[in-house]
Amino acid sequence: MRVVVADDTMLTREGIVRLLTDAGIEVAAQAQDGQNLLSAVRTMRPDAAVIDIRMPPTWTDEGLVAAARIRAEDPTVAVLVLSQYLESSYATRLIKERPERAGYLLKERVFDGAVLVDALRRLTGGETVVDPTIVARLVGRRRPPGPLDRLSDRERAVLGLVAEGLSNRAIAARLFVTERTVEAHVTAVLGKLGLPHDPHTHRRVLAVLAYLQG
């Protein structure tokens, strides 16, 4: 796997690079702003880009803008956007147009090298990755009585893992149940929430996130 890393803070950027190289992942280039990132991706044609959400010149959403540009120019490049802030709207904005190979994690989480590498492997495999902290906040937030109240504890657990972008196989491994059991739970959850059943992981993630934010 070849990766480009973009972050305006040198220490953070170097830390991510070190984690990746220690895991045997090639870092093809580094960038400190959106323009240099786009240039590096066009030149190096990596498998994935790890992108800080806030970069020069305004330190607002340059990372999101660059990620969208990368995906528009070459949808085969996976993008993992990192943020210090818990913003669910950023996650849905990132995956709305092309949810496959798009991920959003809190920056603090990627300094666990195993989490970072797992996210990148899932993304380059065509999956979607959403930070579990965001999912937990959306599932647990106060809201009027509704379909979520009809879910069992196990169905809520499955819902959270679906929203994180896990496949049925990955959910089965996480919960120590069979894949067929997970399929039954997913069907029940989507039915109770009034969402169409879609076997494609990234589409069902988008549907679930849209419901949770509604």
- Greatest mean pLDDT among 34-43, 89-98, 139-148, 204-213 lies in 34-43
Is the pLDDT at 12 greater than 70, yes or no?
Answer: yes
φ/ψ bin of 126: left (φ > 0), alpha (ψ from -120 to 50), beta (otherwise): left
Rounded to the nearest 5 percent, the helix, strand and coil shares of the chain are: 55, 15, 30
Query: How many helices and strands, by DSSP H and E, does the chain display?
Result: 10, 6
How is residue 167 written in tokens? 């496949």
Give DSSP secondary structure letters for 141-156.
S---S-GGGGS-HHHH
**If DSSP codes are grouped into helix, strand and coil, which group holds residue 75?**
coil
CATH of region 2-130 = 3.40.50.2300
Query: Whole-model pTM?
Result: 0.85
As a whole number, the mean pLDDT across the chain is 89
Supply the DSSP symbol for 130.
E
Fold of 134-213: Arc Repressor Mutant, subunit A (1.10.10)
Helix 179-193 crosses helix 201-213 at what angle (to 10 degrees)? Answer: 40
Spans of all domains in the chain? 2-130, 134-213
Mean pLDDT, residues 135-163 taken together:
86
- What are 95-143's pLDDT values in tens digits? 877 788 999 999 888 888 999 999 999 999 999 898 888 888 888 777 7
